[in-house]
Amino acid sequence: MLLVNLWAIQNDPKIWDEPSKFKPERFEELGDGMREGFKLMPFGTGRRGCPGENLAMRMVGLTLASLIQCFEWETFLNEKIDMTEHLGLNLSKAFASQVQYRSHPTMLNSLSQI
């Protein structure tokens, strides 16, 4: 079995400018569904690459946009969210965030009909 260290590739400063910074604009020039070669492979690649990639790329954006558009989010006491990474086979946050949310006033009508 071959395990590729994607974390190392995706955090390599020789490949990415300031790899640990949140810079979504670095992907702006990529068209819909286009890849960044072998520099970014969240869905694997080749024959065993993820067949759900196109669906996932649409659903993740749609779900995130819906959550932002429909609800107002805040942390308790307005503390900053700790984005420290927990290193393991999968990358997750080291500390869970506690947030509270309420329906956005302009969305109340639509949400109450779901």
Binding residues (CB under 6 A) for ligand HEM: these are 42-45, 48-52, 55-56, 60
**C-beta of 24 vs 51, nearer to ligand HEM:** 51
Shortest Å distance, C-beta 81 to ligand HEM: 21
Integer CA distances (angstroms), 27 to 7, 62, 88, in order = 18, 17, 26
Shortest Å distance, C-beta 53 to ligand HEM: 7
Whether 8 and 16 have beta carbons less than 8 Å apart is answered as no
Kindly report the CA angle at 24 between 18 and 27, in degrees rounded to 5? 95
Shortest Å distance, C-beta 21 to ligand HEM: 21
**Burial readout 34-43 (b: 16 or more C-beta within 10 A, e: otherwise):** eeeeeebbee
The token duo for 26 is: 């670095």
- Report whether 70 belongs to an annotated binding site: no
Q: What are phi and psi of 27, to 5 degrees?
A: -100, 5
**C-beta of 42 vs 69, nearer to ligand HEM:** 42
**C-beta of 6 vs 107, nearer to ligand HEM:** 6
Question: Which positions make up the binding site?
Answer: 50
Question: Which positions make up the binding site for heme?
Answer: 50
